[in-house]
Amino acid sequence: ERASGTPGSAVLCCVEGSRPILVEVQALVSTSTYGNARRMAIGIDQNRLSLLLAVLEKRAGLSLAGDDVYVNIAGGMSIEEPAADLSVVAAVASSVRNRGLAPATAVFGEVGLSGEIRGIPQAALRIREAAQMGFTRVIMPSANVDPGDSGGGLELVGVRTVGEALDALIA
């Protein structure tokens, strides 16, 4: 049911137990009509969202201080793994810039406070699931890209920083 090319939408390759699952991360960023900007998260930790927004402000130069930010994990799922960070950042940046991500692109990776993208466990499992679901491109931590792995026909794009990730995601 995901509309392709919609701003504020990113597909996350997450792992629940030992099972890989693709979920949609949705974000809406709009100018705050009140004095204080509002932050709301459904399906991810509110504090994690605040941390990721601070990284976007400081490391990627996106001005979010006066904006309301709403993030939702579609389907009512609750995601607690740090590998969801990059998809949240991608969805928020897509909404701010009002530009959709490529519909056949999936994302995963942990975002550190200095804006680095950290490697995560079970990357091969996530990549395989994305390929089976028809995705053609995966944006992921460069630490997880295996030079000898063809990626099952996928274009594997390794990124080291939030800036690199946003450049690869939002052309």
Kindly report each contact of residues 52-58 with a partner whose C-beta sits within 8 Å and lies 24 or more positions away, as own/partner. Answer: 52/85, 52/88, 52/89, 52/92, 52/111, 53/92, 55/89, 55/111, 55/112, 55/113, 55/115, 55/162, 56/89, 56/92, 56/93, 56/162, 58/115
Query: What is the amino acid identity at position 165?
Result: A
In the prediction, which pLDDT does 147 show? Answer: 75
Mean pLDDT, the chain, whole residue set: 92
In the prediction, which pLDDT does 133 show? Answer: 93
Report whether pLDDT(17) > 80: yes
Model pTM score? 0.94
Angle between the N-to-C axes of helices 85-97 and 162-169, in degrees from 0 to 180, rounded to the nearest 10: 60
Buried-state track 143-158, b at ≥16 Cβ within 10 A, e below 16: ebbeeeeebeebebbb
Beta bridge partners of residue 116, listed in sequence order: 161
pLDDT in tens, 98-152: 999 998 999 999 999 999 999 999 999 999 999 999 999 999 999 999 877 666 7
SS3 115: coil
| CA angle (17, 18, 23) in 5-degree steps | 75
pLDDT in tens, 79-103: 999 999 999 999 999 999 999 999 8
Report whether pLDDT(166) > 90: yes
Contact 127, 138 (CB under 8 A): yes
